[in-house]
Amino acid sequence: MKINWGTAIVIAFVCFISFIMYFVISMSTDKKYDHDLVVEDYYGQELQFQTDIDHEENAKNLKTNIKWKKTNDGIVIQFPEDLDIKNIEGKVFLYRPSNKQLDFETPISLSNHNLLIPDKRLLDGRWNIKVDWKYNTNSYLFKTEISY
């Protein structure tokens, strides 16, 4: 049987459409390709961006900024020693890029200049830490990426 050029074009189109449909279906049904937005209210957070930049600049102008270290108990966030802990308030947000269900937020409550994020709440891998805090009337922001 001889195939003319019209039939060959139709066969090529059918093969190409089948190829594209295979990838569309496999990408939309496979859970490993399921990715969420960074935050639900993306555009609202974008409007807050300049405020975050200003708060980060305030933090850079401190004598000492926030530090963190990994311990056996978890992550210890160290606030500057020269500040009165009674006037420090805010929250710590831990974001897990690979799994939205692991994200959590903790209010800052200090008995000394350290805040412990317990080991049981953290899985191995990459975390983004965002400490949004206020001392007296000044607001500060500390961001970092860690591998736990």
pLDDT digits (tens, 9 = 90+) for 37-61: 666 777 777 788 888 888 888 888 8
Q: Where are the domains of the chain?
A: 1-34, 42-147
CA distance 130 to 114: 15
Q: Which CATH architecture has domain 42-147?
A: Sandwich (2.60)
pLDDT digits (tens, 9 = 90+) for 86-110: 888 899 998 888 777 888 888 888 8
Those residues with Cβ within 8 angstroms of residue 58's Cβ, 6 or more apart along the chain or in another chain: 138, 139, 140, 141
Instruction: Report yes or no on whether pTM surpasses 0.75.
Output: no
